[in-house]
Structure 1
Amino acid sequence: MRAAVFDRYGPPDVLRLAELPDPEPGPGEVLVRVRAAGVQPFDVAVRTGGMPWVRATFPQQIGQEYAGVIERLGPGVDGPAVGTPVLGSTMLNGASELLTVPAENVVAKPAGLDFTTAAALVAASQTASGALLELKVTAGDVLLVHAGAGSVGTIAIQLARLAGATVIGTASPGNHDYLRQLGAVPVAYGDGLINAVRATGLAPTVALDAAGGEAIAQSVALGVAPDRVGTIVDDKAAADAGALVVRAGRSPQRLAEVVALAERGKVVMPVRAFAFESIAEAHATVESRHGRGKVVVTIG
């Protein structure tokens, strides 16, 4: 099988496609033929050596999210059946033609979602839904989402709106119409963010930081209690401010709930798709921290 690997830490061009032995599903596992794989900031951090607790074994595979079709069942697995389209989370092997995962962790892909969109939903759905649960976002809240046009922000805005909350989203001016389409009130990020939020006439009661930088300090300055400010990217700033690091972990159940909403058109995710051979370009796009929605590589 072909898989994306890197032989040393570095920029996107350290990535290459390599021929590796086909994996064999062990007890309780399924073999998945991957059709699309998401690319996320975690992948970038692993590739650059920015995750010291993730130890690379070169040549190191990469990728945390996939959508594909079950090709074989491991010992002791009664279902889902061979041929079932699925999606889910994995660890350092998502960007490959084949992978093995625990059968209990796969989520059935609805017929109404293509593989590329399904892969785009995996990490962002679990991260955003978990963060909103930890922050206890309800219909009475005004949620401030930093980096609202990114993949996590995109899902968080829509889930919060479905819960009845009012949402303010930060983004570059070019993405303000996009945030309006998602149901958020857009403001520009940067030094003028505090005044821009105040100019909306809305007072945030809870904040989700997917941007880093000054986002936590700005949220507190706007009157959000530190214990209702959550970040997925800036642990140090959270510790300094008494804010929360919101990483609820992976949950096939939460993923399935968001996927069901997406099939019904209640949640959307714009996708920037790249061919598998262009995975270095896909990584560079994620690393640039620009654009909207999710970066995905298509495989096979």
Structure 2
Amino acid sequence: MATLYSWYRDLMDNRSDPRVKDWPMMSSPWPTLAACVCYAYCARVLGPRLMSNRKPFELRSVLVVYNLAQTIFSAWIFYEYLMSGWWGQYNFTCQLVDHSRSPMAMRMANTCWWYYFSKFTEFVDTLFFVLRKKNEHVSTLHVIHHGIMPMSVWFGLKFAPGGHSTFFALLNTFVHIVMYFYYMVAAMGPKYQKYIWWKKYLTAFQMVQFVMIFSHQLQVLFRPSCQYPRVFVYWIAMHGFLFLFLFSDFYKARYTRKDRKSRNNGLCMTVMDDSSSSLNGKNGYKQEVGSEVPNSYASSGADAFVRRRPVS
């Protein structure tokens, strides 16, 4: 135990980036870990238990405001990532972390902290599911992903706030701009459904994101001269592979199989959905909730509306 504690202190005190040591939540991993564990417990146990004998909340207006705020927040983080390196200064093939206190390096580190903070604001997505008693969306995969992301980003911020691996955050925030805008329009009600016909392509867009993330990370392995820490390369590439696999399975289940089943039944399901969904592992079509777009960083919407029409 003494050896383990000595290694831990050396890691935290001597190997981390000293610029972020005194920033909120950055002196130790334990507050972030505690928040993640608390989130998982509330999402799967405490929240559903408290709502079991209560009517679901109607949160349409709150959802519109929340998703608008998330859209703006994501757009600002995306802009900051561009201005702190990725718009002309960073090298896309190999970019080391600048640990100096230059204005550009500090701006990048600061942006990384706000990206870390955004992982906590996404906990609210699950809160809305619980309050609206959409517990089928609070799946194990949904909770695991939301629960581990703050911890994963914490390590990147603590030891490498900048450089090559921030490309994944740049892409992720851009996807979030589009995604939260979609959920904002969806939450505005049925009359706005005609404006979000592109939900199927949002899922494909998310999968393209993961391909770009792990491709960008793994190409470093073929550049021996690049001294960027390989542990972050492997860690982020693993996330890209994992979520590409899950989203591909979701895409096939929600679109390919459902379309084939609808044709076999002689019916075409037209789904107008203003709810959101996480990857919940359910391959069947649930008429009450016609969620179409998975969200590895899942958001919330309003109720689903379904109608049937004969196949022409």
What TM-score, normalized by structure 1, do the two folds share? Answer: 0.23
Choose between structure 1 and 2 for higher RCO, CA contacts under 8 A separated by at least 6 residues.
Answer: 2
Structure with greater strand percent:
1
Structure with greater helix percent:
2
What TM-score, normalized by structure 2, do the two folds share? Answer: 0.23
Q: Which of 1 and 2 has greater Rg?
A: 2
